[in-house]
Amino acid sequence: MDRKTFLQGVAGIGAALAAAGPAALAAQTAAEPKRARAIAMWDFSWLERRWPGAGYEDWDEALDGLVERGYDAVRIDAYPHLLAARPQKSWLLKPLWETQDWGSPTYTYVRVEPELHTFLGKCRDRKIKVGLSSWFRQDEADTRMKITGPEKMAEIWTATLDSISRAGLLDVLLYVDLCNEWPGPTWAPFLQPPLDWGHWDDPHALAWMRTAIAGVRSRYPDLPLLFSTDSADPNIFTTQDISFVDAIEQHLWMASQKDDEFNKQVGYDYQKFSEDGFHNIQFRAAKLYAEKPHYWQGLLTDDIRRLAAAAQTAKQPLMTTECWAIVDYKDWPLLPWDWVKEVCAIGAMTAAGTGQWAAVATSNFCGPQFRGMWRDVAWHRRLTDVIKSAPLSATIQGGRLWNGL
């Protein structure tokens, strides 16, 4: 099958899902039909990237753009460790990187309250549900290191939710992800002993998750709670009891398959303060993909289907907010968006087609700072229409997340 025929087939799948979706959804419950959410990841950018031209300086404009593109959910960092410490303080944050366009590439100040309340209110006005997460950004005093155990994590998240509840905004929340890509050391440096990326199923990591979730759930029993992951092995969700989480929030990319095969061939190693890796992406990534697109696409779609099967066995809904092509990209010379959008379209439609995903992102570049991706409104609309009209599997119906869709 040539490339054109393959893409026509994928488009056909999307059209069929869009056509079948309304009837399938109407059959679920006449009173309140459920559908998957089209979700965007705005991480910590929503609060940090507020200088002129950074993309989030006008939240009304940014959120109107999200609605225009068909999204009805967004995932953001709630900065729970800072809110619980001093919610109205202006915190000086250290740069996490200079190479990426998420968040600030240099020092910046943020204040969590009342900004979080204001943003959530604007989301509610637009019927956008919000998933809360945290990358536990580092301030000058490294406040995140005061998270000395899962009980402390539960305490700061409970304080954050208490704040949102007092503001009358709890109904805006879709779920809470207590830590991004747990237990990755960049996002969870407070975990001792430390664990490496993808070790979500390590006994120590599991014990921490159970305790932290139990602590938050004791106060907010109806709110969906989870820990997101970038694990490469879907079998981790079927080898132990994971009923304590309300969904699997799995991040996956074509470039990371088979032990980072694509990234290794490109010569990219997630450099944070050197552009050397991006220089290799400039000269090699699009060319490498074009040499054998079906191979790279197949790695992605096979993993999506394996993940769907594992989630079905675990009787868990799936969500993916960081995906589908390459982990790191930006608006630069020699970095075309066409191949990235092609892979992301295939990934999003494949995931939606399984019926196992309760929330599907189109990429992790779905924000106004990534102009090359953001400006193609029609591309976003085609995919969000497919996501929101895809029939949902019976295995994800019921439970806390389902109730909040």
* pLDDT number for residue 32: 54
**Residue 33 pLDDT level (bands cut at 50, 70, 90):** confident
The predicted-structure confidence for 191-244, as pLDDT tens digits, reads as follows: 999 999 999 999 999 999 999 999 999 999 999 999 999 998 999 999 999 999
**What b/e string do you get for 191-202 counting C-beta neighbours within 10 Å, with b at 16 or more?**
beeebebbbbbe
Which range, of 10-19, 213-222, 251-260, averages the lowest pLDDT?
10-19
Segment 76-90 shows an average pLDDT of 98
User: How many percent of the chain have pLDDT more than 90?
Assistant: 92
What average pLDDT does this structure show over 107-124? Answer: 98
- Identify whether the C-beta of residue 250 lies closer than 8 Å to the C-beta of residue 321: no
CB atoms within 10 A of CB 363: 28
Torsion of CA 80, 111, 74, 167, to 10 degrees: 80
**pLDDT at residue 23, as a whole number:** 38
Burial 84-115 (b: 16+ CB within 10 A, else e): bbebebebebebbbebbbbbbbeebebbbbeb
pLDDT of the residue at 371: 98
* pLDDT for position 280: 98
The closest alpha carbon to 341, from 301, 373, 385, belongs to: 373
C-alpha distances in Å from residue 55, one per residue of 51, 70, 91, 341: 8, 18, 21, 20
Give the pLDDT confidence score for residue 2 in this predicted structure. 42
Please give the domain boundaries of the chain with CATH numbers for all domains: 32-404 (3.20.20.80)
pTM of the model: 0.92
Distance of CA 34 to the CA centre of its chain: 20
User: CB-based contacts of 183: which residues, under 8 Å, 6+ apart?
Assistant: 191, 194, 195, 199, 200, 202, 205, 208
pLDDT value, residue 17: 40
Instruction: Give CA 201 to chain center in angstroms.
Output: 19
Alpha-carbon distance of 252 to 254, in angstroms, equals 7
pLDDT at 150 over 80: yes
Q: How many residues does the chain have?
A: 405
CA atoms within 13 Å, Cβ hemisphere of 225: 24
Q: Judge whether 252 and 304 are in contact, CB under 8 Å.
A: yes
Amino acid 232: pLDDT: 86
If you average pLDDT over every residue of the chain, what do you get? 93
Query: How sure is the predictor about 97, in pLDDT bands with cuts at 50, 70 and 90?
Result: very high
Per-residue pLDDT tens for 341-389? 999 999 999 999 999 999 999 999 999 999 999 999 999 999 999 999 9
Distance CA 231, CA 238 (A): 13
Closest CA to 54 of 66, 45, 44: 45
